[in-house]
Amino acid sequence: MSYDTRLFKLLENKRIADGVFSWTVENDELCRLCECGQFVNVKVPPRVLRRPISICDADENTLRLVFQVKGEGTRIMSEMKEGSEVEILAPLGHGFEIDVSKRYCFVGGGIGVPPLLFAAKQTENPLVITGFRSKNLVILQDEFSSIGSELYLTTDDGSAGIHGFVTDVLKEHLDEFDEVCACGPMPMLKAVAEVCKGKKRCQVSLEERMGCGIGACLVCSCKTKVGDDYAMTQVCRRGPVYDAEEVFFDG
C-alpha cells in the first residue's frame, strides 16, 4: 500500500462547541479517495508525530475534520489560520463496511461522533444515536438531521435531549435496524458491543493512541480475537474499524 502526503489548503477553521473545532481542507486529488471510517494524519509543526483525525465528511475536493482540543497538537491545530497549507497523510486505515440494502444504527459518543456522519450519508434512513457529557459539547445535530436521520440526542447530565446514555436508546430500538456502527470512548463501545452481542452485527471504530499511523511503530497495538486465539493488531492498519466480536475491550 502506498501513502500520500499532500498539502491541503485550510479553507475553514471554526469553533463549533466548547473546545471543539471544525476544519474544511481542500485537495483536488486525495479527497475523492476517502471512504467512511478512514482517518487522516495531520502534521502539526513543530511536532514530529502527526495527529490522527477521522474523516467527518468528504466530497470530490474537500474533507471535513472535527476535533477536540486535548493537548498541544490539537491546540495548535485550533489556532491555524484559514488560507494556510497543512501537510496531511490521507486516506488511512480500513473504514466501515456498509451494505446499502441494510438499515444501520449509528451510535456515537462525544468526539467519536464525527466519523459517523460520513458513514450515515452512505445509507438510507439511518437511525443515529449521539451522546455527549453536556449541552456545551453537542455537535453535528443539524448535519445528521439534514440527511434525513432518525436522530436521538442524549446527555449524561440531562442538559440537552434525553437524560441518559446512548445504550438506553439503543436497547429501545434494537428491532428497528440490521447493523450497528459505533465510535466513542472504550467504555461506551464495550457497552454497545454487549447490547448487540448475538443479536446484531456491530462495527466499532477504535480511536486508540497512535504514533506513525502507517504501521511502522507499535503504539496502537490492540488485542483481537483470531479464531479461538488472539493476536496483537495495529489499529492504524487493520483498523480503526473492527467487528466488535473481534475486540478484547478489557485489553
Distance CA 44, CA 50 (A): 6
Window contacting ligand FAD (CB under 6 A); options: 52-60, 83-91, 171-179, 189-197: 52-60
Strands 179-183 and 162-163 come out as unpaired
Map the footprint of ligand FAD across residues 190-209, applying CB under 6 A: 207-209
Q: Which residue from 153, 69, 78 is spatially nearest to 111, judged by alpha carbons?
A: 69
Contact 97, 37 (CB under 8 A): no
Q: For ligand FAD, which residue has the nearest CB? A: 71
Q: Which of 91, 95, 108, 114 binds ligand FAD (CB under 6 A)?
A: 114
Is residue 238 at the binding interface for ligand FAD, with CB under 6 A as the rule?
Answer: no
Q: How far is the CB of 173 from ligand FAD (least distance, A)?
A: 25
Sequence-distant (6+) residues with CB within 8 A of 214 are: 3, 41, 89, 92, 236, 237
Count residues near ligand FAD (CB under 6 A): 20
Window contacting ligand FAD (CB under 6 A); options: 71-79, 121-129, 166-174, 242-250: 71-79
Q: Considering beta carbons, is residue 92 or 98 the nearer one to ligand FAD?
A: 92
The continuous run of DSSP H or E covering 188 comes out as: helix 186-196
Q: How far is the CB of 53 from ligand FAD (least distance, A)?
A: 4
Is residue 242 at the binding interface for ligand FAD, with CB under 6 A as the rule?
Answer: no
Structure-block grid coordinates of residue 50: 502527526
Distance CA 131, CA 18 (A): 15
Each residue 27-46 as x (binds ligand FAD by CB under 6 A) or -, in order, gives ------------x-------
Q: Which of 240, 242, 244, 246 binds ligand FAD (CB under 6 A)?
A: 240
Is residue 210 at the binding interface for ligand FAD, with CB under 6 A as the rule?
Answer: yes
Q: How far is the CB of 117 from ligand FAD (least distance, A)?
A: 10
Q: Which of 45, 46, 71, 198 binds ligand FAD (CB under 6 A)?
A: 71
Burial status of residue 142 (CB atoms within 10 A of its CB: 0-12, 13-18, 19 or more): exposed
Task: State which amino acid sits at residue 182.
Answer: A
Contact 4, 27 (CB under 8 A): no
Other Cβ atoms closer than 10 A to 73:
17
Q: Which of 73, 147, 217, 223 binds ligand FAD (CB under 6 A)?
A: 73
Distance CA 129, CA 149 (A): 10
> Where on the chain is the footprint of ligand FAD (CB under 6 A)?
39, 51-54, 66-68, 70-74, 111, 114, 207-210, 240
